[in-house]
Amino acid sequence: MNLGSWDSAIIKSLAWVALGIIVITLVMGSLSTTASDIAGLFVSSLLFLGVYLILSLVGWLCVGFPVHWLICKYANASFKVYVVVSILVSLILYFVQSQDSILFALTALSQAMIFRFYVYKKT
Protein backbone atom coordinates (compact mmCIF):
# COMPACT_ATOMS: atom_id res chain seq x y z
CA MET A 1 0.00 0.00 0.00
CA ASN A 2 1.57 3.25 -1.19
CA LEU A 3 0.46 6.32 0.78
CA GLY A 4 2.40 8.68 -1.48
CA SER A 5 4.34 11.69 -0.28
CA TRP A 6 1.60 12.79 2.11
CA ASP A 7 3.86 14.91 4.33
CA SER A 8 4.76 17.44 1.65
CA ALA A 9 1.29 17.19 0.09
CA ILE A 10 -0.41 18.23 3.33
CA ILE A 11 1.89 21.23 3.73
CA LYS A 12 1.25 22.32 0.14
CA SER A 13 -2.51 21.89 0.44
CA LEU A 14 -2.63 23.90 3.68
CA ALA A 15 -0.46 26.64 2.22
CA TRP A 16 -2.31 26.99 -1.10
CA VAL A 17 -5.75 27.11 0.52
CA ALA A 18 -4.59 29.62 3.16
CA LEU A 19 -3.05 31.80 0.46
CA GLY A 20 -6.26 31.60 -1.55
CA ILE A 21 -8.40 32.63 1.41
CA ILE A 22 -6.11 35.56 2.19
CA VAL A 23 -6.10 36.74 -1.45
CA ILE A 24 -9.89 36.45 -1.71
CA THR A 25 -10.27 38.37 1.54
CA LEU A 26 -7.97 41.13 0.31
CA VAL A 27 -9.71 41.38 -3.05
CA MET A 28 -13.23 41.32 -1.60
CA GLY A 29 -12.44 43.87 1.08
CA SER A 30 -11.19 47.35 0.58
CA LEU A 31 -7.43 47.72 0.69
CA SER A 32 -6.34 49.96 3.52
CA THR A 33 -3.83 52.75 3.13
CA THR A 34 -3.29 53.95 6.68
CA ALA A 35 -0.62 52.41 8.88
CA SER A 36 -3.16 51.55 11.56
CA ASP A 37 -5.36 49.66 9.09
CA ILE A 38 -2.39 47.81 7.63
CA ALA A 39 -1.21 46.82 11.12
CA GLY A 40 -4.72 45.60 11.92
CA LEU A 41 -4.82 43.61 8.70
CA PHE A 42 -1.44 42.06 9.52
CA VAL A 43 -2.57 41.06 13.03
CA SER A 44 -5.85 39.70 11.67
CA SER A 45 -3.94 37.67 9.07
CA LEU A 46 -1.68 36.18 11.74
CA LEU A 47 -4.70 35.34 13.89
CA PHE A 48 -6.41 33.75 10.89
CA LEU A 49 -3.33 31.69 10.04
CA GLY A 50 -3.03 30.43 13.61
CA VAL A 51 -6.67 29.38 13.87
CA TYR A 52 -6.68 28.02 10.31
CA LEU A 53 -3.62 25.85 10.93
CA ILE A 54 -4.98 24.50 14.21
CA LEU A 55 -8.40 23.66 12.75
CA SER A 56 -6.88 22.19 9.59
CA LEU A 57 -4.40 20.02 11.46
CA VAL A 58 -7.11 18.74 13.81
CA GLY A 59 -9.28 17.99 10.77
CA TRP A 60 -6.47 16.17 9.00
CA LEU A 61 -5.59 14.15 12.11
CA CYS A 62 -9.19 13.20 12.92
CA VAL A 63 -10.62 12.78 9.42
CA GLY A 64 -8.12 13.32 6.61
CA PHE A 65 -5.31 10.91 7.44
CA PRO A 66 -7.58 7.98 8.41
CA VAL A 67 -9.68 8.51 5.28
CA HIS A 68 -6.54 8.76 3.11
CA TRP A 69 -5.30 5.48 4.60
CA LEU A 70 -8.67 3.79 3.95
CA ILE A 71 -8.78 5.12 0.39
CA CYS A 72 -5.26 3.84 -0.28
CA LYS A 73 -6.06 0.46 1.24
CA TYR A 74 -9.50 -0.24 -0.26
CA ALA A 75 -9.95 2.08 -3.27
CA ASN A 76 -7.97 3.19 -6.28
CA ALA A 77 -7.13 6.66 -4.83
CA SER A 78 -8.59 8.56 -7.78
CA PHE A 79 -9.76 12.16 -7.65
CA LYS A 80 -13.37 10.95 -7.76
CA VAL A 81 -13.02 9.10 -4.47
CA TYR A 82 -11.57 12.17 -2.75
CA VAL A 83 -14.38 14.36 -4.14
CA VAL A 84 -17.05 11.93 -2.93
CA VAL A 85 -15.52 11.68 0.54
CA SER A 86 -15.14 15.47 0.75
CA ILE A 87 -18.77 15.96 -0.26
CA LEU A 88 -19.92 13.41 2.32
CA VAL A 89 -17.94 15.16 5.07
CA SER A 90 -19.34 18.49 3.85
CA LEU A 91 -22.91 17.18 4.01
CA ILE A 92 -22.35 15.86 7.52
CA LEU A 93 -20.99 19.26 8.57
CA TYR A 94 -23.93 20.98 6.90
CA PHE A 95 -26.54 18.86 8.68
CA VAL A 96 -24.79 19.27 12.03
CA GLN A 97 -24.03 23.01 11.86
CA SER A 98 -26.26 24.23 8.99
CA GLN A 99 -25.11 27.10 6.78
CA ASP A 100 -22.23 28.19 8.99
CA SER A 101 -20.26 25.12 7.97
CA ILE A 102 -20.17 25.88 4.23
CA LEU A 103 -16.85 27.71 4.59
CA PHE A 104 -15.36 24.69 6.38
CA ALA A 105 -16.77 22.35 3.73
CA LEU A 106 -15.29 24.37 0.86
CA THR A 107 -11.96 24.57 2.66
CA ALA A 108 -11.94 20.81 3.26
CA LEU A 109 -12.84 20.10 -0.37
CA SER A 110 -10.11 22.45 -1.63
CA GLN A 111 -7.52 20.94 0.69
CA ALA A 112 -8.48 17.40 -0.31
CA MET A 113 -8.20 18.14 -4.03
CA ILE A 114 -4.86 19.90 -3.69
CA PHE A 115 -3.65 17.12 -1.39
CA ARG A 116 -4.66 14.46 -3.92
CA PHE A 117 -2.92 16.37 -6.71
CA TYR A 118 0.39 16.52 -4.83
CA VAL A 119 0.34 13.22 -2.94
CA TYR A 120 1.11 11.03 -5.96
CA LYS A 121 2.76 13.67 -8.13
CA LYS A 122 6.12 12.62 -9.49
CA THR A 123 8.83 15.19 -8.83
Whole-number pLDDT of residue 1: 59
CB 102 within 8 A of CB 94: yes
Whole-number pLDDT of residue 14: 92
Whole-number pLDDT of residue 15: 92
Whole-number pLDDT of residue 89: 81
Whole-number pLDDT of residue 81: 86
Q: Which regions in the chain score pLDDT beneath 50? A: none
Whole-number pLDDT of residue 122: 64
Domain ranges within the chain, ordered by starting residue: 6-119
* Separation of alpha carbons 17 and 112, rounded Å: 10
**Buried b or exposed e, range 96-108, using 16+ CB within 10 angstroms:** eeeeebeebbebb
CB 23 within 8 A of CB 88: no
CB 79 within 8 A of CB 113: yes
CB 41 within 8 A of CB 35: no
Helix (H/G/I), strand (E/B), else coil: 5: coil
Whole-number pLDDT of residue 79: 81
Whole-number pLDDT of residue 12: 92
Q: Using alpha carbons only, give the angle 12, 116, 94 rounded to the nearest 5 degrees.
A: 95
* Separation of alpha carbons 58 and 51, rounded Å: 11
